[in-house]
Every structure is written in C-alpha cells, then in structure tokens.
Amino acid sequence: MKLVQLDLNKVGSENEVHNLLMEQMQFPQEYEKNLDALFDVLTSKLEDNYCVELTRCEKKDTKLADFFSELEQIFVDAARSLDERDGKLYAVFEDTRSVEFNSSWQ
C-alpha cells in the first residue's frame, strides 16, 4: 500500500491539489481535474492500493475552504475505510488484491 500525504495548508489552488493527486496516485492522463472526476478515479481507476493522509487546512477563512470541504467529502464517500487522528483524515483505497500495511503506520 502506498501512502500519499496531502497537506491542505500547503496548497494554493484547486489545480495544485489535482496535480499533486494525479502525480502521486498515478491518475490516467485524461483525468479532468475536477471533483466528479476525482470520485470516479478513486472508486474505479486506481491501479494500486493507497492510504491518503489528508491534513485539514487550519485556516477556515481561506478562499479554498469550500473546495477543501467538498474534497474531504469526496474522500469520505469514495474510501473503503476511514480513520481520523490528530486533525488528519486517513482514507484507504484498495482494489481486490490483498493489502499489506506498513507496520510503521500504526
């Protein structure tokens, strides 16, 4: 399983989020970089198993606050399992192959 870390405190645009996810999770080149396309990729087009560590944005007044809220909901809706710890959301995406967890994650 691959760990993807996405700290929303360090991104400046919706496009940057999509580019980071596309690169780290090896999305198809035809990925349309919107939330509907993100849900589709997370639920049906991943070639590997992933755990996404999403660090929530601490600034609630940011112009991206609505997008971050919608993004988090996409992860919640698409994930096969969820965990929340220390202000972070962990979403696990896996296919039908067996999942091997890294012992350092616990």
Does residue 101 belong to any structural domain of this protein? no
Does residue 63 belong to any structural domain of this protein? yes
- pLDDT classification of 98: cutoffs 50, 70, 90: very low
Give the model confidence (pLDDT) of 26-52 as tens digits.
Answer: 998 899 999 999 999 998 888 888 899
Distance separating alpha carbons of residues 102 and 3, to the nearest angstrom: 9
Distance separating alpha carbons of residues 95 and 46, to the nearest angstrom: 8
Q: Residue 82 above 80 pLDDT?
A: no
Whichever domain contains 87, its CATH number is 3.30.370.10
Does residue 61 belong to any structural domain of this protein? yes
Does residue 35 belong to any structural domain of this protein? yes
Give the model confidence (pLDDT) of 68-80 as tens digits.
Answer: 999 999 999 988 7
- Number of folded domains in the chain? 1
Does residue 77 belong to any structural domain of this protein? yes
Amino acid type, 97: R
Does residue 104 belong to any structural domain of this protein? no
Does residue 106 belong to any structural domain of this protein? no
The residue with greater pLDDT, 15 or 102, is 15
pTM, 2 dp: 0.79
C-alpha distances out from residue 24 to 2, 5, 65, Å: 9, 9, 23
Residue 77 sits in which domain range? 2-95
Does residue 102 belong to any structural domain of this protein? no
Distance separating alpha carbons of residues 98 and 9, to the nearest angstrom: 33
- pLDDT classification of 90: cutoffs 50, 70, 90: confident
Q: What pLDDT is recorded for position 16? A: 96
First to last CA, the chain: 14
